[in-house]
Amino acid sequence: MASTNPFQSAEDEFPEDGDMFGKARRQRRSAEAGEPEVDRDARPGLRGAGGSSRVQRKASRRARRIERVESEKIEVISGWPKLEGLKPVLMFLSMPAVLVMAITLTGGNWPSSILYPIALGLGLIVGLSALKGVELVLACMIIYLPFSKVFVVPLAPGVNGTNMLVLLGLFAALLRASTLRQKLNDWPPGTALVAIFGVVTALSVVTISLLPGGRTYFLYNEILSYKAWIDQFIFYFIVLMCVRDVESAKRCVVYMLIGSVLVVLYSVPEMLEKMGRSTIEKSRIEGPHLQSNNFGGFVAYTLLPLVAIFFIYIKDLRAWLLTPYFLLTAKVLITTFSRGAYLAMVAGGFMAGWFKGRGFLAFWLTLVMCFLLVFPSLIPDSILARMDSLTHPDADSSIPEEEKLDKSSETRLVMWRAGAQMILESPVLGKGFKGFPYLKEDYTEIAVKESDPHSMYLYIGSQMGLPALALFLLILGYSFNLGRLHASNEQDRFIKAIGIGGAAATACYAVVCVFGSRAVSLNFTAYFWAYLVVMQVLKQKMIVAEAARNPVADRTNAFADSGNGTRGDRRARSAASDEPEPDLTSSVRCPRTGRRTGMRGAAAFQAASMQTEAESTGQSASVDEPEESAGIVSSRLRSKLRRNRGKGAL
């Protein structure tokens, strides 16, 4: 009789063995299925089917995620170059830095009787260091070249500081190359592209010489410009021979960062002096390049590597010490009043943020836009005035668009049309080196004083031909691709910063070249070529390291995977495994004794196949009669071969 107690469970009415038949069936089914027995009487720890397993899976995923994050933290390194390699060079560079600071603080105008002996002593130190290494010579070249127009250092007619440093660097680089026995195939990828570009553009001097009066014009007016153009490629190969490993490439980047900072600091007194003048033209600073647009473009593309370093190390509080310098550089860039530099800086900054991370870029763009919308007065009036100067403020709407433009923009359009016409007339060879100023009067609608096409792309295309322009575009694309490649480096933060800075600086450099012929001398292009060499060397070393981590297996014959291979392969495997070398001259053996049947080569292979087929059908000979079975197989094989020969004869 069932109990009427409401607090008594239904299981309490029966003994514990009441479910013995059902439990036995469950145990039998589990045993047949090979599954572990599950005690259903045990109450689960959590409600719901599989709750415990879900918790375990979630905990394991979390543990794996934590382990992965910890492993990434261990593998990622800061990557800054070692201080031992930088210290000697920085100690020497501190001496001219102190000298320049002293000259600036005292108002300048030091007598040459004091400056020349100091310069001679420093030059002797650099010259003697070239016999021991190239590091100091390279650092002096990188830091001096942006100031080459200001500090000319004339030693003799046609001999100045730039020429002396280039020759000294070339001597040191060749000495190092001969010592290390560098070969042509040791150059990093992309070197041939720059070499071909240099040769093609250098041959444009032949084209200008073929024009009537062109040879005289070139020799008396443009020989120094041609020498400045060739100096770029000499400098490129000097840096290429000096920078041959990862550490030296990183130190080269540090020297470029120091040089870019010194250029900005040098222009601060000029900015303070010209601040508050009546017109924009009077307020524009020219910097050490002695030209506002060139100086603005140089500041724009050399600032971006430092911006990339700030982005990568943004979580380090020491990186925020660069904020005052960034504000000062922004003020200097604004004071150049170069619209091309403004646009180039925006393009380069966008690319730097893009390669840092799309979320990072979206966050900062949104923050800046919201800040400017709330406080529009923070936009400098000088930028608004400079951008508004594109058109005349009192121009009537009925006037054509070209007449509404300011004088600078109108002249630029005239020069662009003239350059395009020259390209159409001579698309392959162009008009020759410096042929544009020589022939511009025949292609301009109005008389203009400007002798520059105001675009580096038109400068190359109109004077050196479309093949040279295509090579220049390939170099820009290759440099950008190298930066994109190194920007994905997750092991070395400094190399990642180099990649982001290289891609952003290349984009900025390309935009700067749209609005002027900037890349014509070393004082502007030195850092672009040096940065390109750094990224090339890093890629070369990355390829070598990848090949060392994943070596390519030695080539072997088609039987290597099946355990056969050549006799030398079999001997090596048998020596490694301490097993006797297999003899594969015969494939037919007795199953009991393992003795060969006497057949070799293809006959043995076919005999083995027939023996296997016979054994599968139950027609194999007895194990006790190996010689007889072998004879049966041999007779069958001979009869089959005779039939095949007969068919072939028919």
Give the residue from 139, 193, 200 showing the smallest Cα distance to 168: 139
Among 484, 509, 544, give the residue marking a domain's end: 544
CA–CA gap between residue 439 and residue 3 (Å, rounded): 119
Same domain, residue pair 305 and 215 = yes
Residues 603 and 464 in one domain: no
Consecutive H or E run containing 467:
helix 466-487
Burial class (CB in 10 A: 0-12, 13-18, 19+), 490: exposed
- Tell me if 78 is assigned to some domain: no
Cα distances (Å, whole numbers) of residue 603 to 72, 476, 523 = 60, 65, 79
Q: Residues 605, 532: one domain?
A: no
529 and 609 together in one domain: no
In 3-state terms the chain splits into helix, strand, coil percentages (rounded to 5) of: 70, 0, 30
Q: Is residue 642 part of a domain?
A: yes
What are the tokens at 398? 């009925």
The residues, any chain, with a CB within 8 Å of residue 347's CB and separated by 6 or more, are: 507, 508, 511
Which residues are CB-neighbours of 500 under 8 A, at least 6 positions away?
308, 311, 312, 352, 355, 356, 483, 486, 487
Q: Which is nearest to 225 in space by CA: 438, 427, 425?
A: 438
One domain, residues 593 and 529 = no
For the chain, 650 residues long, the average pLDDT of each consecutive 10-residue run is: 48 46 57 52 47 65 70 64 87 82 73 79 84 88 90 75 86 84 79 95 92 90 91 93 91 94 90 84 88 92 94 90 93 89 92 89 84 66 57 47 57 86 91 90 81 90 94 96 92 92 95 90 93 94 82 53 52 55 48 53 58 55 43 55 54
Q: Which domain holds residue 608?
A: 588-649
Whole-angstrom distance, CA of residue 358 vs CA of residue 352 = 10
503 plus 620 within the same structural domain: no
CA neighbours closer than 13 Å in the CB half-sphere of residue 301? 28
Assigned domain for 113 exists: no
Contact 137, 165 (CB under 8 A): yes
Tell me whether residue 285 is in a domain: yes
User: In angstroms, rounded to a whole number, what is the distance separating the alpha carbons of residues 238 and 174?
Assistant: 8
Instruction: Please give the helix or strand (H or E) that residue 72 lies within, else none.
Output: helix 51-75
Q: Strand pairing partners for 391?
A: 405
Distance of CA 518 to the CA centre of its chain: 23
Does the residue 582 lie in any domain? no
525 and 598 inside one domain:
no
Q: Are residues 538 and 607 in the same domain?
A: no
Per the CB < 8 A criterion, the answer to whether 46 and 55 are in contact is yes
Distances (CA, A) of 149 to 85, 287, 290, 521: 30, 10, 7, 11
Does residue 256 lie within any of the structural domains? yes
d(CA 192, CA 198): 10
From CA 432, how far away is CA 229, in angstroms rounded?
A: 13
CA angle 234, 536, 508 (to 5 degrees): 80
Asked if 596 and 540 sit in the same domain, the reply is no
Same domain, 219 and 332: yes
Is residue 519 within 8 A of residue 301, CB to CB? The reply is no
**322 in Cβ contact with 529 (< 8 Å):** no
SS3 category, 575: helix
Residue 64, both tokens? 């794996």
Residue 73 pLDDT: 53
Structure tokens of 461? 């295309």
Does 147 reside within a domain? no
Measure the CA–CA gap between 111 and 424, rounded to whole angstroms: 54
Query: 266, 318, 307, 253: which is closest to 79 by C-alpha?
Result: 253
Q: In the listed set 508, 525, 544, which residue is the last one of a domain according to the structure?
A: 544
Structure tokens at 514: 């749209």
Look at residues 147, 334, 166 and name the one whose alpha carbon lies nearest to residue 259.
147
Q: What φ, ψ does residue 596 adopt, rounded to 5°?
A: -75, 160
| Same domain, yes or no: 261 and 378 | yes
Q: Which candidate, 357, 335, 141, places its Cα nearest to that of 255?
A: 141
Name the domain boundary from 485, 514, 544.
544
3-class DSSP assignment, residue 471: helix
Q: How many domains does the chain have?
A: 2
In tens, the pLDDT along 160-197 reads: 878 888 888 888 888 888 887 777 667 898 999 999 99
Residue 532 falls within a domain, yes or no? yes
C-alpha span between 628 and 614 (Å, rounded): 14
d(CA 259, CA 6): 92
Same domain (yes/no): 365, 491? yes
Per-residue tokens: 97: 């830095």
Residue 516 and residue 523: Cα distance in Å, rounded?
Answer: 15
